[in-house]
Amino acid sequence: MFPFSLLKIIGKMVVDKSPKLDYCNKVILAPMVRVGTLPTRLLALEMGADIVYSEELIDLKLVKCKRIINELLNTVDYIDPTDGTIAFRTCDLEKPFVVLQMGTSDATRALAVGQLVQNDISGLDINMGCPKEFSIKGGMGAALMAQPDKATHILKTLVDNLKIPVTCKIRILPNLQDTVELVKKLASTGISALAIHARTRDERPQHNPHPDFIREIVKHVSIPIIANGGSRDIQKYADILKFRLDCNASSVMVARAAQLNVSIFRKEGLLPMDEVIFRYLKLSVDYDNSPHNTKYGIQSILRDLQMTPRGKKFLQCQTMQQMCEIWDLGDYCRNKELEIFRRGKVGRRKVMPDQVIDNDVVEGETVTKKPKTENKTETSVIEENISFLRCNYSSDVRLFPKSVLYTYANKHNKLPACYETEGQNKLFRSMCKFDGKLYRSTFWQKNKRQAEQAAALVCLKHIGLVAEEELIKNGSILR
């Protein structure tokens, strides 16, 4: 499953026998929302990063998660039991180098999460610098910089009760001396390192960073300081080291430059864009990464090239299969998804409403509650795991499954199909009644309209208007 080039990471594991993560002299993948998922982190390590941070994960989400061993993927999954989605996925390969970043405003809740995840990560970081409105309103991120007593209480609680290193990430304050005093207070809690974005809460990437602030801060504390915020001037690996030198920091953390091309961590130089995308896609397939998340990652790499013919074709993709076809990974993706599907393990296509984790079942498996609205004529329902994928259809509504079925009914003097839809936990599934028979997809859709189209698609397949081969080819059905 693992790319051959990742074997060098295992070499790092053998050399580094330290029980604690060392934050000195490191080049680090920064925490980035929607970017820092498992495929990106593994690829960053393959490219040469020493430490990788997860995207920011909110304590309220993590604290209710169930820890599941996914034997098929060789991963540890933290699953939200309300909808079966993966909040955090990790694996042994990255364990010695991965830091989970958490958004929190409560010491007790933060500790509960820390104790839940500490056996699967090597460090826990508290986000105290995010300027986004969501974080600020929740008392998280940069809001904690305005409440130093609360911030230090959270950090001290974690340092005193966890067996892994605890760190935090902040931004500079407008005043240098105020920033120095804040850093000294945070460092006094016993944290192992402190990352500093060299911009204020109100400054954005177009503003110049302030490495002079970090140079001064370094003089006043003994813990490693990790410099962040230099991506605008980072075009190659040597630029990473230059920013670190400009800040006189112990280590350096890279965000946007790595988002655009994660091979920025290669001392040998950047890889071509298509090779980076190919490797990222393959890891996304290997670890059953969300298509939506994978697409976002590739969009970050393509940038302006999204407007090229190939880029526009990519933007129409909704499934992993469709994306992989563009980068010659179609057969690989198809075989991997079939393997997951046939072995009945937890995968994206098995997410259902009211999915729960039963402590009595074998690790890695799930059981699902029966919907309370089951029809009494259940045995007569024709079901197939067929999904309606909007990207498979043009803007001409006459070609949509429901329209095709309606036209067929008129032509053959039959009553139009009627639909009955059930919704649970923001997922929907419809029953299509046509010509005395009931049709339904076992695949739950994100809205009522798509659920009805999926049910119509099942009907069209069974009356011979859509070929199974076509549905397999376009990713609507797995066989």
Q: Which is catalytic among the residues 24, 65, 91, 130?
A: 130
Calpha distance 35→300 (Å, rounded): 9
Calpha distance 164→117 (Å, rounded): 10
Q: What is the dihedral of CA 289, 120, 28, 6, to 10 degrees?
A: -60
Nearby residues of 103 by Cβ (< 8 Å), 6 or more positions away: 56, 57, 58, 59, 127, 130, 135, 138, 140, 141
Under 8 Å between Cβ of 320 and 286? no
Q: What secondary structure does DSSP assign to 35-87, as a single string?
A: T-SHHHHHHHHHHT-SEEEPPPEEHHHHTT-EEEEETTTTEEEEE-TTT--EE
Under 8 Å between Cβ of 334 and 69? no
Calpha distance 459→475 (Å, rounded): 17
Under 8 Å between Cβ of 71 and 365? no
Paired tokens of 472: 């397999």
Q: What secondary structure does DSSP assign to 290-339, as a single string?
A: -HHHHHHHHHHHHGGGGGSHHHHHHHT--SHHHHHHHTT-HHHHHHHHHH
149: left (phi over 0), alpha (psi -120 to 50) or beta: alpha
Calpha distance 348→333 (Å, rounded): 14
Bridging pattern class, strands 98-103 and 57-58: parallel
* CA dist 446 → 41, 183, 424 (Å): 28, 45, 10
Under 8 Å between Cβ of 298 and 277? yes
**Running DSSP on this structure, what letter comes out for residue 188?**
T
333 given a catalytic annotation? no
SS3 (DSSP) at 140: coil
* CA dist 408 → 203, 340, 456, 476 (Å): 59, 36, 12, 21
Q: Report residue 355: phi and psi, to 5°.
A: -70, 130
* CA dist 275 → 197, 278, 427 (Å): 30, 5, 36
Q: Which amino acid is at 306?
A: Q
Q: Which residues are catalytic?
A: 130
